[in-house]
Every structure is written in C-alpha cells, then in structure tokens.
Amino acid sequence: MITFNGAMKRKIVNLSYCILVMLLAACGSGIRVQYDFVRDLDFARYRTFDFISLPDSPALEKKGELMVKNAVISELELQGFEMRFTKPDFLIAVHTSTESKMDVVSWGYHYAPYDLYYGGYNYWGVQNFSAYTYQRGSLILDFIEPASMQMIWRGVAQGVIPPNASNERLTGLIEAAVRRVLKYWPPE
C-alpha cells in the first residue's frame, strides 16, 4: 500500500486542480456567455460598424485591446458585416477586466496518520482544506446606436485565464470568447 505524507498529498491535489483548470481553459468550455438586447428593434438594418473610443482603462492594455478588436472584426466580417469609419450603423465599445479569485475546498476528511495516532480521530480537529487562486477575465461588448448613443445589445464572456499563457494562447482564448459572444449577434 502506498502512503503519502501531508506535503506530498497537498502537491498531488494542487497538481490535479491545476490540470483541471488548464483542461477547462483549453477546451473553451470554461467560458460563460450572457447577452441582452433591446426588444422590438429591427436588427436587420445594422450592417456596418466601427469602434467607439473609450477612456484608457488600466485593465485594458493597448495590446489586449487590439487583440479583442481584431477578433471582433474577423468574426463580424465572417457574418457579413462591414467595418466603416464614417457613419456606421452601430458602434462597438470594448470593456475588459481581470480579477483575482480564490476557491477554498474542504475535502471532507482528515489526514489518516494523525487519525491513527490519536485513536481514530484528528487530534487537532482540523479537516483538510485547499485554497486556489486564479485570474478570471471578463470581456464585454456593447453595441451602441450612434444617433442616440443608446446601447442596443450587450454580450459578456467570462472565463479563467491560464497562468503564464503565451501571446498565442491568449489570442486563441480571446478569439474563442469573441466567437462565443457574437454567436448571439444579431439577436433573433
């Protein structure tokens, strides 16, 4: 029978959790999407778009903004929309944010060697807990009517950002998030 000490057991659990997070991020299944729009609006008249300039946000670096905009342009052009700098039918505002999150997991059991030494229960009364920190990214696309400057559609994607991801990996995640969000544009 193989037995692990407390440090080894924690390493195995931590490694398992990291692999799970990376697999979910790799599959893209960890991207949660929501959208909302103005009801009773004829979205068929919206064929051309441009981006609206927003004040600089510390969470949105210029490089990241460019990745998002390129992904949006590619996806909308695939859907038959056209980017137009003068008098577009709708404007797009891009918002992003990242936040540090923490998950705490109680494994619901005690570490066995301590239990055995102290008569079948944990002497200190402590259960095993693991805490994991990760980055969650949010992407919000607001589609705006230029004449009234009213939002007509909003799409939101949220997902885990893998630690130490390469530029290629981040670009792939951004493209997947944009594709998933724009699947709901125009609303039916």
Q: Domain limits of the chain?
A: 6-182
Alpha-carbon torsion, ordered 114, 119, 125, 128, to 10 deg = 40
From CA 142, how far away is CA 156, in angstroms rounded? 9
Tokens of 41: 């609006």
**Residue 119: what pLDDT?**
53
Burial of 185 (0-12, 13-18, 19+ CB in 10 A): buried
Burial of 156 (0-12, 13-18, 19+ CB in 10 A): middle
**Could you check whether the bond before residue 186 is cis, i.e. omega within 30 degrees of 0?**
yes
Burial of 5 (0-12, 13-18, 19+ CB in 10 A): exposed
DSSP labels for 82-115? EE-SSS-SEEEEEEEEEEEEEEEEE-SS--HHHH
Tokens of 81: 């929309």
From CA 37, how far away is CA 182, in angstroms rounded? 13
Would you write out the chain's pLDDT as a tens digit for each of its 188 residues? Answer: 444 455 544 544 443 344 334 434 444 458 899 999 999 999 999 999 999 987 765 544 566 778 899 999 999 999 999 999 999 999 999 988 878 877 777 766 655 555 555 555 545 555 667 777 778 888 999 999 999 999 999 999 998 888 888 888 888 989 999 999 999 999 98
Q: Is 58 helix (H, G, I), strand (E, B) or coil?
A: coil
Question: Which of 52, 83, 49 lies closest to 149 in space, CA to CA?
Answer: 52
Question: Which of 60, 67, 100 lies closest to 178 in space, CA to CA?
Answer: 67
CA distances to 32, 42, 52, 78, 147 from 37, rounded to whole Å, are: 17, 11, 18, 21, 17
Domain 6-182 architecture:
2-Layer Sandwich (3.30)
**Residue 126: what pLDDT?**
56
